[in-house]
Structure 1
Amino acid sequence: MEHYDVIVLGLGSMGGAAANTLAERGAKVLGLETFAPGHDQGAAHGGTRIIRQSYFESPEYVPLLQRAYEGWRKLEAESGRDIMELCGGIYIGDPDDITFRGSKEASELHNLPHEILDADEIRRRFPTMNPADDAVAVYEANAGYVRPEETTIANAQVAAKKGATLRFHEPVTHWQATPNGGVEVVTTQGTYGADRLVITPGPWAPQVLPELNLPLSIDRMIFYWFSPEYSDAVPYERYSDKQHPVYIEETHGNQQIYGFPMTDGPAGGLKLGFFRKGSPTTANTIDRNVYDHEIAEMRERALQLFPYLTGPVVQAKTCLYSVTPDEHFVIGAHPLHEQIQIACGFSGHGFKFVPVVGEILADLALDGRSAMLPPTLFDPKRAVLRGA
């Protein structure tokens, strides 16, 4: 049985970043993945993911995001791929709503460059939008999007160049801690041993970590691409990432939406979706079809902000969120086995942290601690995960 310093179970976004960082630090690494690099079966696909630092979810995330930005640029340089585009971001809502208020508070606390815009200024600068008259916004120039498929492929390529052994299309059937303090992992093709194990299971967490009984909701989500009706006043260029920001909006309790500029030309459509409007499923049983009533509901909501988004739907795709009760991540030592590190429950907002999560997991696997890891925010043993 071949032996490694660290085995990484799952080479999606977080696992690929962990394998990359571990290999860079000189560890003998084996990465195992059921699917191909950049696959569309989990949570790391769909062409774009928002990246931002004015973080309404909690100001505690901002230092991690600042570190992540460094990691994104490093991954671009090492892979030669275009991964991150900073086209700006706008977060629109009622003055007391979390979308606006939380973004403003995070910006002020961490001295992030930002602007406060009223509804008239939003319309003037971004004529694709027509927010409510009393809406306000935080505009952050240092925001934009990253490309998830490019990211997972880049991490795999760079990790392999640094010496990691990566095995795709090799499902893991069993893993266990061993009496000597190591681990053993069994796949459809062999058995491997290691001193340490990193488990990044994505929406398969309930199946891969059943002993923890984590209270994760695995939700079927949808993102949509709609075609605008162009005019001389609002031509295609106004929707392109040269002139249009990423966006998040919730006003008067109308359900938070998020989305992107048009990144694939005039025929590509404007991508958007509901942030928290999923239906319970599992990674193995998700319905990948998107239905007419779902498209109609999304269009009705989108028109509240984008009055010209009346053209055909270009496409719609499903995605999976793994949501914790407090919507914060799960990162840290397995509660039963200190030689095993876990990362899951990224709750629909984790992708922007990929490089820094990779660093944290490498720290934990090799050193047993990470100075970048918030003391309690992501603790696998925190009360909300124990039903306390």
Structure 2
Amino acid sequence: MSRYDLIVIGAGGFGTSAAYYAAKRGKKVLVLEQFERGHRRGSSHGESSIIRKAYFEHPDSIPLLQQGYKLWVKLEEISQRELISPCGLMLAGSPESNAIAGTRSASQTHGLDLEDISETDLEDRFPGFNIPDGYDVVYEVDGGVLHVEDCVDVLTSLAEKRGVEFQWNEAVTHWESDGDQVKVWTKETTFEADALIITAGAWSPKLLANIENFPRLDVLRKLMFWFPVTSDAYDFSMGSSGFLFDMPYGEFYGFPCLDGQVIKVCQHSDGDPVTDPNELDTQLYAEDLEPVAKFLQEVMPDVEVTPESHSAYMYTISPDQQFIVDQHPSYQNVAFGAGFSGHGFEFASILGKVLSDLAIDYETELPIDFLRLQRFS
């Protein structure tokens, strides 16, 4: 029976980050991942993710984001690979919307660099966008694009260099802990360790089912789209930014065109329930495309409404749509993170460190009380 200081279940952004930071502390770490390296069956894929500091969803997250941003930059320096493309972030919505009012409040509270864009400056600053009447527009200077697969690959490679063992295509069936040591079973093997971290994305409900009164995690099927562009209005090379629009019929976000050919646009709101994440429907249906096509027709006239490609993925969402990061209430040597999908990947650098602290030290100096289970009591 193999024995380790720490076992991590799940090799997405959070699991690889936790493994890396534990290995930096000299721990012998094993990561068990049920799929192949670099798979596209969870939530840590799709080429790009927005990174921002004016986090309107929960202002208490901003100190974590500020430290997380520094860790991404440090990972760039260590790996000599570009993980962040700074480009700013434009947000548009009614003055009372979370996207506008929440971002303004978060920026004011934490002294972040946010610009209010006047109506007269919109066309020059954001060509290619038709801003709906009555909408306010703000611009976060520190916004940018995180290159998702590159981030996961760098974290995996750096972890491997520090001795972390990855076992791919190794699905966990169950685990046990007595508070001092854990056992983890796969179909073929049993592993032992002093501590366990669970970062299993859409598969978390099954692995955390032994927590009494654990809040329900909803898993939603989502689609990413890449649409052809008909002008250079959205080109990264021309200074175009990421964007988020709070529309009456949904929230939509996207990224600058990186290759001069296509632009990634997605709907953040809504989604179809997933009963079994192993059976995610990856097909594209007309109803998947309709709200995004409507948004493009109304707001982005230089984008064709027939996608060149698409990719299915999953959101895993807690009742208050915030992350859950904590220790198991019955076993101090088991830490977990869940409910990240939708707006969580940018936190992977810092929360991976938090999870390693919780599993190894049973505590962390970082401010995460607002993410703990106790808020659902």
Question: TM-score higher than 0.5 here?
Answer: yes
Deviation at 1:133, TM superposition (A): 2.9
Deviation at 1:311, TM superposition (A): 5.5
The 5 A counterparts of 1:317-328 are: 317-328=311-322
Give the aligned residue type for 1:129.
Answer: F
Deviation at 1:248, TM superposition (A): 0.7
The equivalent of 1:197 in structure 2 is 196
The equivalent of 2:245 in structure 1 is 249
Deviation at 1:83, TM superposition (A): 1.1
- 2:18·2:352 contact (CA, 8 Å) conserved in 1? yes
Write the distance in 1 (CA, Å) between the matches of 2:83 and 2:194: 33
The equivalent of 2:254 in structure 1 is 259
Deviations, residues 232-287 of structure 1 (Å, cap 9, x unaligned): xxxx2643354111111114x23111111112x122x1111111110100311221
The equivalent of 2:5 in structure 1 is 5
| Between 169-178 and 100-109, the greater mean CA deviation after superposition | 169-178
- 1:23·1:159 contact (CA, 8 Å) conserved in 2? yes
Identity, % of aligned pairs? 32
Write the distance in 2 (CA, Å) between the matches of 1:119 and 1:220: 36
Deviation at 1:295, TM superposition (A): 2.0
Deviations, residues 176-229 of structure 1 (Å, cap 9, x unaligned): 113x72100112342111111011110111222222343011000111111222
Write the distance in 2 (CA, Å) between the matches of 1:238 and 1:284: 36
How many residues of Structure 1 are paired with residues of Structure 2 in the alignment? 374
Give the aligned residue type for 1:219.
Answer: L
Write the distance in 2 (CA, Å) between the matches of 1:150 and 1:81: 8
Which one of 280, 283, 290 corresponds to residue 273 of structure 2? 280
SS at match of 2:373: coil
Q: Does 2:291 align with 1:335?
A: no
Which one of 291, 303, 315 corresponds to residue 297 of structure 2? 303
The equivalent of 1:21 in structure 2 is 21
Write the distance in 2 (CA, Å) between the matches of 1:325 and 1:185: 28
SS at match of 2:359: helix
Aligned pair in 2 of structure 1 residues 147, 3: CA closer, same or farther (>3 Å)?
same
Task: Return the TM-score normalized by structure 2.
Answer: 0.95
Q: Does 2:213 align with 1:220?
A: no
- 2:215·2:319 contact (CA, 8 Å) conserved in 1? no
Deviations, residues 33-69 of structure 1 (Å, cap 9, x unaligned): 1112221000011110000011111211111110111
| Between 311-320 and 254-263, the greater mean CA deviation after superposition | 311-320
* 5+ residue gaps, structure 2: none
The 5 A counterparts of 1:46-57 are: 46-57=46-57
The equivalent of 1:233 in structure 2 is none
Write the distance in 2 (CA, Å) between the matches of 1:148 and 1:262: 16
Deviation at 1:149, TM superposition (A): 1.0
Q: Does 2:358 align with 1:357?
A: no
Deviation at 1:378, TM superposition (A): 1.2
Deviation at 1:114, TM superposition (A): 1.4
Deviation at 1:313, TM superposition (A): 1.4
The equivalent of 2:59 in structure 1 is 59
SS at match of 2:176: strand
The equivalent of 1:207 in structure 2 is 206
Give the aligned residue type for 2:195.
Answer: R
Deviation at 1:9, TM superposition (A): 1.0
SS at match of 2:222: strand
- 1:23·1:29 contact (CA, 8 Å) conserved in 2? yes
SS at match of 2:166: strand
The equivalent of 2:264 in structure 1 is 271
- 2:87·2:236 contact (CA, 8 Å) conserved in 1? no
Give the aligned residue type for 2:229.
Answer: P
- 2:183·2:193 contact (CA, 8 Å) conserved in 1? yes
- 1:335·1:381 contact (CA, 8 Å) conserved in 2? no
- 2:234·2:257 contact (CA, 8 Å) conserved in 1? no
- 1:90·1:245 contact (CA, 8 Å) conserved in 2? yes
Deviation at 1:76, TM superposition (A): 1.6
Write the distance in 1 (CA, Å) between the matches of 2:253 and 2:237: 15
SS at match of 2:8: strand
Deviation at 1:352, TM superposition (A): 0.5
- 1:199·1:343 contact (CA, 8 Å) conserved in 2? yes
Moved over 3 A (4+): none
- 1:215·1:324 contact (CA, 8 Å) conserved in 2? yes
Write the distance in 2 (CA, Å) between the matches of 1:92 and 1:3: 52
Task: Return the TM-score normalized by structure 1.
Answer: 0.92
Give the aligned residue type for 1:346.
Answer: F
Give the aligned residue type for 2:245.
Answer: E
| Between 86-95 and 238-247, the greater mean CA deviation after superposition | 238-247
Write the distance in 2 (CA, Å) between the matches of 1:294 and 1:240: 27
SS at match of 2:131: coil
